[in-house]
Amino acid sequence: MIATITHQNKTFQVNLSKPIDISLPLSNTEKNPIAWYIEKPQIEPVRFGSWVGSVKGGATTNFNNIFFNPHGHGTHTECLGHITKEFFSINQALKTFFFTAQLISVQPEQHGDDFVITKNQIEKAVGNSNPEAIVIRTLPNLEEKKSKNYSHTNPPYLHEEAATFIREKGIQHLLIDLPSVDKEKDEGKLLAHKAFWNVKDVNNLNTDARKNATITELIFVDDEVKDGSYLLNLQIASFENDASPSKPILFQIL
């Protein structure tokens, strides 16, 4: 279905029958991606004595508990409450769900033992476009991203200057196919998170901190999806928490 969209005083067309899902599913298998030193998610039937919430176990319905961590178990969207003493909820921070987005592909540069996405790379890839969201696909774009255990692997990350550039560009929503925009073991500095949200003091929040900006991590964008402009639909579950599992969907602008 071709739909005509008017957004930010611009009118364009998208094919709603061809959504591009860039989220990773959550499962209780070894295929589930993992970060931050935790085990895989648990999905199992509720048990009351001899009663088991499983049709296979004799119940009339499947009735499962799910134990997971949004930051460590798959695609998730977070707000600045992830790093502040004051509580902020992603459910309150994200109130609109469609955004213009620019998909870019970047091969992180080696800096010592680290692989880093730099400001120059982001600036060159974004060019003169002014999207509301940026979607970063790192290269090489290996299939193992979908099921990798990232713990203790020192994944690539976003340089503080790159995060600052994205903020100063006016981009409100940052999506990336890594477990974090920051270095895995950075002594708690969280430089890219702080730069993107413009958080100067996590204990005493500055008035110009970006309370409605979001970061989405652990996405996956197939190679067949070309760099360029898209319409992003960013959906979350209604958790009153700093982060929620999310399902970002891209629609190519025709």
Question: In this predicted structure, what is the pLDDT of residue 8?
Answer: 83
Peptide bond into 33 cis (omega under 30): no
pLDDT digits (tens, 9 = 90+) for 35-88: 999 999 999 999 999 999 999 999 999 999 999 999 999 999 999 999 999 999
Report yes or no on 227 lying in a domain: yes
Report yes or no on 84 lying in a domain: yes
Average pLDDT over residues 105-129: 97
pLDDT digits (tens, 9 = 90+) for 155-193: 999 999 999 999 999 999 999 999 999 999 999 999 999
What is the pLDDT confidence band of residue 17, given thresholds at 50, 70 and 90? very high
Could you say which DSSP state residue 119 is in? H
How many structural domains comprise the chain? 1
Report yes or no on 148 lying in a domain: yes
Give the whole-angstrom CA distance, residue 137 versus residue 228.
Answer: 12
Report yes or no on 13 lying in a domain: yes
Report yes or no on 110 lying in a domain: yes
- In CATH, what number is assigned to the domain containing residue 245? 3.50.30.50
Report yes or no on 64 lying in a domain: no
Which residues span the domain enclosing 157? 2-26+71-252
Report yes or no on 37 lying in a domain: no
pLDDT digits (tens, 9 = 90+) for 234-245: 999 999 999 999
Asked if residue 213 lies in contact with residue 47, where contact means CB atoms within 8 angstroms, the answer is no
pLDDT digits (tens, 9 = 90+) for 201-232: 999 999 999 999 999 999 999 999 999 999 99
Asked if residue 237 lies in contact with residue 98, where contact means CB atoms within 8 angstroms, the answer is no
Report yes or no on 76 lying in a domain: yes
Structure tokens at 5: 């969209």
Whether pTM exceeds 0.95: yes
